[in-house]
């Protein structure tokens, strides 16, 4: 059995990653970290019974991380894979951005990754095995206007990933980041049709990515065969950058 924790387990990308593990790996036991809006996560858990469970997780709280990881370790005997997927946008120009818009985005996208990585390192070290996959964003290297907070946080995720990979490599733990571009999730659902058309025109593949295409990369980085891949930041963007 492989124990996998996915944060943001109630969103399109988190659910897509969870489903991919459950369908591709019969030994996978997926924990969906959720704070609210649990209906879709509960529906996925209902499909796979005891192989998929929900765990309460406020990703910006150290205490919540310790409780969630403690429960998983108690029930599964350890934790093998952490997918730091939770995050949020609050776009706006820096000149008019208030303190809360900055701090909330940095906290949910970067602090959460720090807290999650710290919470799983010791259980993974005790097994001398672990896979950490941090979901960053193409905005980390190709930020659009109005995303100073989000781009800074995601760039921080990439830097954290590369540094942590050096710290834990000798313990059999790999740490990698993914930088998705436009992916068909709820984050794009409110995009104006003309804006979507312009965005696709700027993508060499002329389409948005699918959650399962990101999930496939997560699945590879989490497998035994990816044991020599660490400190990487893989873009999944249809060739934009």
Task: Give catalytic residues, as residue numbers.
Answer: 150
- Single out the residue of 96, 106, 85 nearest to residue 30, CA to CA: 85
Taken as a whole, the chain contains a residue count of: 241
Q: How far apart are CA 38 and CA 196, in angstroms?
A: 28
- What are the DSSP calls for 114-158, one per residue? HHHHHHHHHHHHHHT-EEEEEE--GGGTSPPTT-HHHHHHHHHHH
Rounded (10°) angle between helices 148-168 and 112-127: 20
Strand-pairing partners, residue 90, are none
The burial of 35, by beta-carbon neighbours within 10 Å (0-12 exposed, 13-18 middle, 19 or more buried), is given as middle
The answer to whether 24 touches 219, Cβ cutoff 8 Å, is: yes
β-bridge pairing 130-135 and 28-34: unpaired
Say how far apart CA 210 and CA 19 lie, in whole Å: 13
The two three-digit tokens of residue 151, written as one number: 């781009």
């Amino acid at each position: 059995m492989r124990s996998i924790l996915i944060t943001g387990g109630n969103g399109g990308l988190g659910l897509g990653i969870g489903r991919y593990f459950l369908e591709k790996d019969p030994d996978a036991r997926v924990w969906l970290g959720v704070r609210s809006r649990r209906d879709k996560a509960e529906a996925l858990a209902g499909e796979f019974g005891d192989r998929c469970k929900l765990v309460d997780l406020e990703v910006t709280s150290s205490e919540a991380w310790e409780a969630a990881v403690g429960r998983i370790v108690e029930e599964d005997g350890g934790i093998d894979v952490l997918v730091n997927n939770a995050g949020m946008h609050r776009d706006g120009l820096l000149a008019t951005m208030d303190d809360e818009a900055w701090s909330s985005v940095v906290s949910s996208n970067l602090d959460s990754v720090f807290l999650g990585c710290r919470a799983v390192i010791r259980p993974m070290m005790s097994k001398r095995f672990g896979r950490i996959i941090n979901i960053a964003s193409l905005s980390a290297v190709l930020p659009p206007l109005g995303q100073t907070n989000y781009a800074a946080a995601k760039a921080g995720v990439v830097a954290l990933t590369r540094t942590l990979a050096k710290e834990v490599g000798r313990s059999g733990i790999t740490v990698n980041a993914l930088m998705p571009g436009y992916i068909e999730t709820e984050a794009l659902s409110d995009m104006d049709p003309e804006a979507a058309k312009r965005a696709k025109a700027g993508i060499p593949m002329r389409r948005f990515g699918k959650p399962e295409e990101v999930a496939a990369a997560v699945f590879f980085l989490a497998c035994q065969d990816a044991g020599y891949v660490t400190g990487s930041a893989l873009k999944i963007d249809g060739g934009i950058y």
